[in-house]
Amino acid sequence: MNSSNGNDPNRHDANAAALRSFAALDLDAIALLLDVDGTLIDIGPSPFEVDVPDSLKTSLERLYSLTNGALALVSGRPIRDLDKLFTPLKLPAVGGHGAEMRLAEGAAVARVEDLPQALRTRLIAAADPAAGVEFEDKGYSVALHYRKAPAHADRLRAHVSESRAAFPDEATEVLPGKMMIEIKRPGIDKGGGVRELMRHKPFHDRMPVFIGDDVTDEAAFAALPGFGGKGYSVSREFDGLSGIFSAPDDVRRALKQLATIE
């Protein structure tokens, strides 16, 4: 798995092919499962500095209707944060890399048990917003972001190791991402979230079509073959893909095209 070269002329051809393939999808037969950061929206300086275009919300609302509700966000963000980003939409969602799930608009959110407060407090102690190191306390996990401070990567990895060692009886695992380290409960990933989602109407008996961009999406891609699904990525190679978009803007264009919005 590796990222595509932005100057590679083959990248343009691959993007065009992905747009054509995506436009041919049958909205009566598919379930659209969409990662958010780096896929639907551009990566910002921090998780709290991102833009969700109104045109994207319009496309998602239209596609939600056209698929009879078989559209879900599949994100590392908590569902409460997704609702804020995509307001006024409150779409079906898998949040926290599978730690949370909402099956339909207005339905209750199911979530796993939180990590102990003492462990979360210790992990958060490594954050230094003035230096560009920020945190997300999701309850069931803690994410440390260093997009603005890449020099802190080794310090954060060491801090995470020490913090986990200080709680030997608490089962945790580390999920690496783009300039981010997340400490979460084990056995929770987007693949499990996708499998659970596909057990329920209106997703059940449809073909899942997932778009993702990061190593945190690998488990979701791995779940697709069990449902005869298709995977698309953004600027990154994964096994068994049906297409590769160049950038989130191309994904937004593909969704708008699929929604037949002029």
Rounded-to-integer distance, Cα 12 and Cα 131, Å:
37
Q: How far is CA 239 from the centre of its chain?
A: 18
Helix residue ranges, H only, 100-170: 117-124, 153-165
List the catalytic residue out of 8, 13, 28, 35: 35
| Residue 16 neighbours by CB under 8 Å, 6+ apart | none
Whether 81 is catalytic is: no
Laid out side by side, the sheet with 230-234 consists of 110-111, 100-102, 93-95, 71-74, 30-34, 207-212, 230-234, 243-245
Q: Which of 91, 77, 106 is nearest to 255 (CA)?
A: 91
- Phi, then psi, of 186 in degrees rounded to 5: -70, 160
Where in the sequence numbering do the catalytic residues fall? 35
